[in-house]
Each structure stands twice: as C-alpha cells, then as structure tokens.
Amino acid sequence: MKKKLVSPLLVAFAFFNIYIIWGSTYLAVIYGLKSFPPFILVGLRYAMAGIILFGWCKFKGETLPPFRNLWRHAISGTMMLVGGTGMIAWAEQYISSGQAAILVATEPLIFLLLDRKNWSEYFSNKYILSGLIIGFAGIFLFLKLGVAVVNPSPMATIASVVVLFSAVLWVLGALITKNSKGSSSSTMNASIQLLAAGAASAVIAFAKHEQAGFSFANVSAEAWAGLLFLVVFGSLVAYLSFVWLISIKPPAIISTHTYVNPVVAVLLGWLLINERVNAAQLISLIVILVGILLVNLPAYLKGKRSD
C-alpha cells in the first residue's frame, strides 16, 4: 500500500503551532490573570476545550474507552493539567511568564529521573549523565540569580519551586497515561483528560474561595482574549497539531519544541508586557537547553526519543 503524501506546508504549520503557540500560552495566562483567579481560568480553559473535543468525537461516533483506561486518563489529565499547568497559572501571579517557561523546560530532565525502569540505560550513557548535571546546574543558577535578582520577594522563590513541582506532576501524569491509550483515539483520550482537569480545577477554585468577589461582568477584554487564546489555540490547535505530528514524524524531531517554547515566552513577555530579562536568566536558559540537548542526543543519533 502506497504511503500517503503529507503536505510540507501543513507540516510546517503544525510545527509553527507547537513552537510558537505553545510558547505564547505563558503570556496568554498573564492576560487571563488580569481578571480571572488562576484555577477559575484554567478550569474554564480545560472544560471548554474538553467539551469541544468530546463533542467532536461523539459526532464522529466514537465511544468512551473502557473504565480501566478512562480513570487512568482522568487521573493523568488532572496531574498534568491541574497539577502541571494549573500550578503554573498560580505561580505566574508572582513570577514572569518567561521565568515560568524556563523552569518548565526542565521537564525532559525530570522525566529521566522519574522513569525508573530505564535508569540502567539512562545512567550508563555519558551524554545523558552530562546533560542531567548541566541541566540541573542551570536550574540552580536560575533560582539563585535569575529569580532573586529580578524579584527578591520570597513568594517569587516559592512560585519558582512550585513550577518545578508542577513539572514533576506533569511527568508523573505522562508516565501514567503512556501505556494506557487503548483502542480510543488520541482526541477522545485528550477530551477525557481535559474534562477531568476542568472538574478538578473547579473543585480547587471553590475550595480556595476564588469565586468570592469574582464576577464575569467584571472580566476585562484582555482577560477574555487570554482565555479564548488558551482554549482555541493552546488546548485545541496546538495540542491537535502535536497529536498529528506524533503520527507522522519521529518523536525526537517533535520534542524540539522544548527548546523553542521558553525562548518564545521570554521574547514575547519582554516585547509585549515589558517583563524584565537579565543576563542571569538568559545564561540559565542556555545552560538548561544545553543539558536537554545532551540528554536527548543519543535519541537524536538513533532517530528516536530516548524514552
């Protein structure tokens, strides 16, 4: 059977989405936080995107995955989206979008530490070991200089640690769902993850009393724009582009968005909302990205991801 040709323009557009749009979501969160409390913001984002994706799947006649996979996707979605990006939205009340993006870029390093079953492979490779050491040195440099110099507030340091912890939760959630795809489509699985995350965010928002004093009538146009961008472009266009690219391109190539996203976030934050960027932050970013490059180098050489 002849392999179906894929339009190079369509591939380029999909890469643009996961490079630029995912990188710009950090800035969109800043705009959303102008009127929305953090967990109301992410709850609306995930619920709206989940309803759209689930409705599309049902329109195509897809069925729900078996319960064993259903609850796994619900748990992983809650860990990745609420524990991950939900906590990042909270942290962006105290640190810049660029700082958050730099810290999130460490996820590939955290994955290696948590993917215990492959430790023997990881820690016997000189490139991976060097990458881990360099990458975490970059994190230490960022926390000591990149955060403390720009914002000496104790909350900035706490928020930075929260972002690192959110990256841990994202990786743990990804590991849970890694082998739970089942016979359901990636779109159906994603819709379940998004709906579960939306429900969990609502519970957290009410537990934190974020609804107190909040009114949709008082939401600014900028905040609405931020939310709609997160729903349409962040949770639908970019994510679906990622899912499609995974089916046609080597994962090692797709994972290059890890290098581009923080650069985009830092640049947009600086250009559009005058977020401060100092030399220590830029040096830390370069060090972290060099570490990520090294840990992925064996996979690039083999034409596949190291995980």
- Phi, psi values for residue 226, rounded to 5°: -60, -45
pLDDT at 305: 44
State the sign of the Cα–Cα–Cα–Cα dihedral 290, 294, 295, 301.
Answer: positive
Look at residues 269, 49, 80, 93 and name the one whose alpha carbon lies nearest to residue 176.
Answer: 80
Q: 217: how many CB neighbours lie within 10 A of its CB? A: 5
Q: In this predicted structure, what is the pLDDT of residue 30?
A: 94
Inter-residue contact 123 to 295 (CB < 8 Å): no
pLDDT, position 171 = 81
Distance of CA 67 to the CA centre of its chain: 26
**Spatial contact of 112 and 261, defined as CB atoms under 8 Å apart:** no
Q: Which among 236, 259, 239, 4 is positioned nearest to 106, based on CA atoms? A: 259
Confidence of residue 303 (pLDDT cuts 50, 70, 90): low
| Choice between 59 and 179, residue whose per-residue pLDDT is larger | 59
pLDDT of the residue at 250:
64
Please give the residue that has the higher pLDDT: either 293 or 183.
293
SS3 content of the chain, % helix, strand, coil (to 5): 80, 0, 20
21: pLDDT confidence band, cut at 50, 70 and 90?
A: very high
Residue range 241-269, pLDDT digits in tens: 887 787 677 655 776 787 788 889 988 99
pLDDT, residue 200, reads: 96
- The angle subtended at Cα 104 by Cα 297 and Cα 282, nearest 5°, is 80
| Nearest one of 93, 110, 117 to 169, comparing CA atoms | 110
pLDDT of residue 146: 65
pLDDT tens sequence across 24-50: 999 999 999 999 999 999 999 999 999
* Residue 279 pLDDT exceeds 70: yes
| pLDDT tens string 87-109 | 999 999 998 888 888 888 888 88
Query: pLDDT, tens digit, for every residue of 1-19?
Result: 445 577 888 888 999 998 9
Give the C-alpha separation, 209 to 204, whole Å: 8
Q: Confidence band (pLDDT; 50, 70, 90) for 65?
A: confident
CA atoms within 13 A on the CB side of 300: 12
Exposed/middle/buried for residue 60 (C-beta within 10 Å: 0-12, 13-18, 19+)? exposed
114-165: per-residue pLDDT in tens?
A: 878 878 888 888 888 898 899 889 888 887 776 655 666 788 889 989 999 9
Please write the tens of the pLDDT for every residue from 191-226: 999 999 999 999 999 999 999 989 999 999 999 999
Question: Rounded distance, CA 226 to CA 239, Å?
Answer: 17
Highest mean pLDDT among 219-228, 274-283, 286-295: 219-228
Residues in CB range of 69: below 8 A, 6 or more apart: 180, 181, 182, 184, 189
Q: How much is the pTM?
A: 0.83
